[in-house]
A and B are shown apart, each in its own frame.
Chain A
Amino acid sequence: MMKFSGSVERLAGVVAWGISYSIAVLVPMIFFLGSYQYLRGVMEARTELRSHEISRIIQDNPLMWRFEEIRLAELLGRGLAEDKSEAVEIVAADGVLVAQNGSATGGLWAHCNHPIYDAGRVVAQIRVSYSLRPLLVRTLLVALGSLVIAFLVFFTLRTLPLRAVNDSAKALRESEKRFRSLFESMKEGLAIHRLDPGEGGAFPSLRLMDVNPSCLALLQLDRQAVLGRDSFTLFGPGFAEHRSEFQRVEEREGFAAFELTLPGRDRLYAVQAFSPAKGQIATLFEDITDRREAENERLNLERQLLQAQKLESLGILSGGIAHDFNNLLAAMQGYLNLVQVQVDAESPAFKHLESMERVVHRATDLTSQMLAYSGKGRFVVKQHSLNRVIEDMNDLVKVTIPKKILLDLDLAPLLPPVEADAAQIQQVILNLLTNASDAIGDQEGIIRITTRSLRLGPGDLVKDFQGQNLEAGVFVALEVSDTGCGMSTEVQARIFDPFFSTKSLGRGLGLSAIQGILRGHHAGLRIDSKPGRGTTFKVYFRASALAMEEAGRGAVSARKSLEGTVLLVDDEVMITDSVSAMLEGMGLKVFIAHDGRQAVEVFQRERNRINLVLMDLTMPHLDGLEAARLIHRLEPRMPVILSSGYSEHESIQGGIGGQAVGFLQKPYSLQALYEALRGSLQPSST
């Protein structure tokens, strides 16, 4: 830039000098020469004119013409300049001066001679002399004026344009510095290429003209190694694919954008190409690897969030339906048990009642599935050996899997226990086996159930269990693999959607229920499947920190009459009717309330008579937990048994559940009710 400014300064100086010199020297010179030529022309014309007139005088007086002094003097003096800058003399052929006007002495004179004829014979010569002094004086004045003008021109040309050039150069320097700084410090790689058009229709070639440090880092080369080299070779075949776009960009002043992976670099770059000048292409390389990964992760999270929201809403829906159905079933169970008590066991109707109870149990299973899907199912969370739970299912499994399919159990010994609901786990295993069997179909195949323990670290959870809300620690893995048809990625993306099924008769709730159950148990799930290569479902239960307790199977106590008064609280009249009948059947007195507020009022009024409160949780005005809290404020030792169509786990999340003496999951049988009451009420003495 400095070089450019210096050359412009020199050029301006040379131009200014040239023009000024021309004005100072050439103008006076041209003036002098032009004026001199004009003077010569005038001299010659006047001389010739005078010679003609003198010739006429000679013709009039050929003998004595030379003595016609006045006439000749008048002729010579005619039109003579008054400043004595002109001298004229007539010299006869014999050399005698005949006449003269003025004298050409002193200074510079221009002379002009012309012969004077008498009938074709030269008889004399007229000589006109012009003094060059006036012309020189005028030329000097012109020279002085030209010098002044030349000085002004020099000053103007040297100063004003130079100032403008300096200002422009300064602005250009600052701009260049600013853009150079930007060029050098920008995070994106920037390369400027020279585009040489291909000859004879061939593709153009690109050669690197300049690169910034980021681009050199991207290429992992130094500047000298890349400048002048073929750009397509440096940036690889992926770059060369866009050579026609470069040509179009250079011709039409648009821009091209594409993504590029450089040879040997596991990074993805967004490339923008544009033409900063004729015959040049600039390419901007932006590393979008991290951004693309973050974008994919964000999309994945969005998908999971959408799935979770979908499941949440479906869970709410299914849970609500299951809750209401459980209330209905609870009433039916209650009345059924009452009828069973009242009817003789030998009666033919008793069998029908048992059949009816089985139907109620199946309906209860169905609502349990719905609750399991919603994650609000009835959980009886205890420590279990996963191996034992599987082994206990052996008979059930045999009738579920066709004979062509070999079931292979690979159960690791000495597994830590898991805290889970055994029935729910069995439901999970049964659904997975059913799916595996369906995947193998009528073909021969193998289903393998494997258990093992392992530790999952934070990295494993982030990598394989995103969105599953697991905590690092020891897990017990249950893997169900098959040699079936496998699943495509698209199918895998939808298998947990409710009512999505690849089977013609499938309900599409199996895997949805599994997902709900596992979420309820805070268990993890992974699927490995490829079309034609089978599928493996891997379920990870958190290992219990406590030692395994052998659960004793308590004998069913025989029902005896109980003594006391129970406050039965439920907003469903059919529940209060059936349950109050069951309680009265046990010999108990019953107060009924239909919401929490009424329950507290009744309790305040009859607190001395009430021995136990059987409280539904979900009620209007004041729910069961709040009502129980108020009752405990009045009577801290009052036993309260909670009841709900939801699971105990879900129901007591509010905290007060911890002060309850028991929980009854609707629908409950007469026996279950009796067992729950027995611990808090005294048997009747009668």
Chain B
Amino acid sequence: MRRILLWVLAISLGTALPGLGQTIEEIRINGSGTALDLLKPLAEAYQRKHPQVRIAIEKPLGSSGAIKALLAGALDLALSSKPLTAEEAGRGARLQGYGRTPLAIVAEKSIPLSDFTTQQLEDLYAGRLTQWKPGSPVRLVLRPQSDIDTQILRSLSPGLNQAVTLAHGRPGMLMAVTDPEAMALIARTQGGVGASGLASLLVEKPPLQVLTLNGVRPTTATLASGTYPLAKEISVVTTAKTTPAAWAFIDFIYSAAGRAQAEKVGVLVTGSSAPSR
């Protein structure tokens, strides 16, 4: 009798409270600012499709921080804009390329310039370009030395590589650690100029003007054609502990729907398939 009673109670509860029977699965994701900006529309689309899944995206930790947090078990998935270090790989991190997004040169709205040549960019970072026009000083916003954006800029030309080093050696320079911080700082600084991933620009839509580089606009098309030289890689980093829910989400972003969504926010998806588990 008692056993019958328990079965009835259970069936009743299952029927009466169907929501209580579903477990909320949380997927903790972090990474570089640009990657997270890309991730936000994808996550929203996935959560709409899978309401039992909650994707938690905190303030961007950056690629290294996110991988570190992933290895520490604090995350389920990390999106990185840099390759793995030997140590990270040694500790079990696995990286799978996803796509690329142009690294755009952006400036505060008021500056009277729409295009930068490589030479101008070198002058900008070397400190030779000091004002946009008389009475309007140039205020360059740097990213940390170890940030991938800095390394991408260095790779443009030896002159720019040298100029970036000079810029980091100058005291009192404006510094932004993450992509959102960089966009915000450039936007609110009179005469501000810097670099930011196109995905972040498309997602966040900050009040910035995107400049062409040597006359080429930063788009997935110019990136795909190879005419635009500056690009940020976006990769998926997993470990053996990556949860099935996280894998399900990975599968989603590699899916056609996910790719389409990514293309919309300026990411040229290059990964053909989701990484194997």
List chain A positions with a Cβ less than 8 A from chain B: 60-61, 63-64, 67-71, 73-74, 77
- Assess whether A64 is in contact with B61, with CB atoms less than 8 Å apart: yes
Chain B 161-186 near chain A by CB (<8 Å), digits 1 or 0: 00000000000000101100000000
Which chain B residues (125-179) contact chain A, with CB distance < 8 Å? Answer: 144-147, 175, 177-178
* Bound-state Cα–Cα, A69 to B88, Å: 14
Which residue in chain A gives the minimum CB-CB distance to B28?
A64
Number of A-B contacts (CB under 8 A): 51
Which of A60, A64, A73 has its CB near the most chain B CB atoms (within 10 A)? A64
Q: Note all chain A residues with C-beta closer than 8 A to B178.
A: 70-71
* Bound-state Cα–Cα, A77 to B178, Å: 16
- Assess whether A67 is in contact with B61, with CB atoms less than 8 Å apart: yes
Q: Closest approach, in angstroms, between the C-beta of B17 and any C-beta of chain A? A: 31
- Assess whether B59 is in contact with A67, with CB atoms less than 8 Å apart: no
Q: Closest 3 A-B residue pairs measured CB to CB? A: A67-B69, A67-B65, A69-B65
B74 in the interface (beta carbon within 8 A): yes
Contact of A74 with B175 at beta-carbon distance under 8 Å, contacts A64-B74, A67-B69 already known: yes
List chain B positions with a Cβ less than 8 A from chain A: 30, 58-59, 61-62, 64-66, 68-69, 72, 74, 144-147, 175, 177-178
Which of A70, A73, A74 has its CB near the most chain B CB atoms (within 10 A)? A70
- Assess whether A71 is in contact with B145, with CB atoms less than 8 Å apart: no
Which residue in chain B gives the minimum CB-CB distance to A61?
B59
Q: Name the one of B59, B145, B146, B147 contacting A64, with C-beta atoms under 8 angstroms.
A: B59
* Bound-state Cα–Cα, A64 to B178, Å: 15
- Assess whether B58 is in contact with A64, with CB atoms less than 8 Å apart: yes
Q: Name the one of B30, B59, B62 contacting A70, with C-beta atoms under 8 angstroms.
A: B62
Which of A60, A67, A74, A77 has its CB near the most chain B CB atoms (within 10 A)? A67
Q: Closest approach, in angstroms, between the C-beta of A89 and any C-beta of chain B? A: 15
Which of A60, A61, A69 has its CB near the most chain B CB atoms (within 10 A)? A69
* Bound-state Cα–Cα, A64 to B30, Å: 10
Main secondary structure of the interface of A (DSSP, over half): helix
- Assess whether A73 is in contact with B61, with CB atoms less than 8 Å apart: no
Q: Name the one of A61, A63, A70 contacting B147, with C-beta atoms under 8 angstroms.
A: A70
- Assess whether B61 is in contact with A74, with CB atoms less than 8 Å apart: no
Q: Note all chain B residues with C-beta closer than 8 A to A67.
A: 30, 61, 65-66, 68-69, 72, 74
Sample of 17 A–B contacts (CB below 8 Å): A61-B58, A63-B58, A64-B30, A64-B59, A64-B65, A67-B61, A67-B74, A68-B59, A68-B65, A69-B61, A69-B65, A70-B64, A70-B147, A71-B62, A71-B144, A71-B177, A74-B146
Which residue in chain B gives the minimum CB-CB distance to A57?
B177
* Bound-state Cα–Cα, A74 to B182, Å: 14
- Assess whether A73 is in contact with B146, with CB atoms less than 8 Å apart: yes
- Assess whether B69 is in contact with A64, with CB atoms less than 8 Å apart: yes
- Assess whether A60 is in contact with B68, with CB atoms less than 8 Å apart: no
- Assess whether B62 is in contact with A69, with CB atoms less than 8 Å apart: yes
- Assess whether A70 is in contact with B144, with CB atoms less than 8 Å apart: yes
Q: Note all chain A residues with C-beta closer than 8 A to B62.
A: 68-71
Contact of A74 with B30 at beta-carbon distance under 8 Å, contacts A64-B58, A69-B61 already known: no
- Assess whether A73 is in contact with B144, with CB atoms less than 8 Å apart: yes
Q: Note all chain A residues with C-beta closer than 8 A to B145.
A: 74, 77
- Assess whether A70 is in contact with B69, with CB atoms less than 8 Å apart: no
- Assess whether A70 is in contact with B74, with CB atoms less than 8 Å apart: no
Q: Closest approach, in angstroms, between the C-beta of A410 and any C-beta of chain B? A: 143
Which residue in chain B gives the minimum CB-CB distance to A72?
B65
Q: Note all chain A residues with C-beta closer than 8 A to B74.
A: 64, 67
- Assess whether A70 is in contact with B58, with CB atoms less than 8 Å apart: no
Q: Note all chain B residues with C-beta closer than 8 A to A77.
A: 144-145
* Bound-state Cα–Cα, A7 to B31, Å: 83
* Bound-state Cα–Cα, A542 to B145, Å: 147
Which residue in chain A gives the minimum CB-CB distance to B60?
A68
* Bound-state Cα–Cα, A419 to B3, Å: 204
Which residue in chain A gives the minimum CB-CB distance to B142?
A74
Q: Note all chain A residues with C-beta closer than 8 A to B175.
A: 74
Q: Note all chain B residues with C-beta closer than 8 A to A71.
A: 62, 65, 144, 177-178
* Bound-state Cα–Cα, A63 to B65, Å: 13
Q: Note all chain B residues with C-beta closer than 8 A to A64.
A: 30, 58-59, 61, 65, 69, 74
* Bound-state Cα–Cα, A263 to B140, Å: 114
Q: Note all chain B residues with C-beta closer than 8 A to A68.
A: 59, 61-62, 65, 177
Q: Closest approach, in angstroms, between the C-beta of B195 and any C-beta of chain A? A: 15
Which residue in chain A gives the minimum CB-CB distance to B78?
A67
Q: Closest approach, in angstroms, between the C-beta of B94 and any C-beta of chain A? A: 18
* Bound-state Cα–Cα, A71 to B146, Å: 10
* Bound-state Cα–Cα, A73 to B63, Å: 13
Q: Closest approach, in angstroms, between the C-beta of A520 and any C-beta of chain B? A: 134
Q: Note all chain A residues with C-beta closer than 8 A to B58.
A: 61, 63-64
Q: Note all chain B residues with C-beta closer than 8 A to A69.
A: 61-62, 64-65, 68
> Contacts A67-B66, A74-B144, A74-B175 given; 10 further ones with Cβ under 8 A?
A60-B59, A64-B61, A67-B30, A67-B65, A67-B72, A68-B61, A69-B65, A70-B147, A73-B144, A74-B145
Q: Closest approach, in angstroms, between the C-beta of B98 and any C-beta of chain A? A: 21
* Bound-state Cα–Cα, A69 to B178, Å: 11
* Bound-state Cα–Cα, A74 to B59, Å: 17
* Bound-state Cα–Cα, A71 to B30, Å: 15
Q: Note all chain A residues with C-beta closer than 8 A to B144.
A: 70-71, 73-74, 77
Q: Note all chain B residues with C-beta closer than 8 A to A63.
A: 58
* Bound-state Cα–Cα, A40 to B217, Å: 52
Q: Closest approach, in angstroms, between the C-beta of B236 and any C-beta of chain A? A: 17
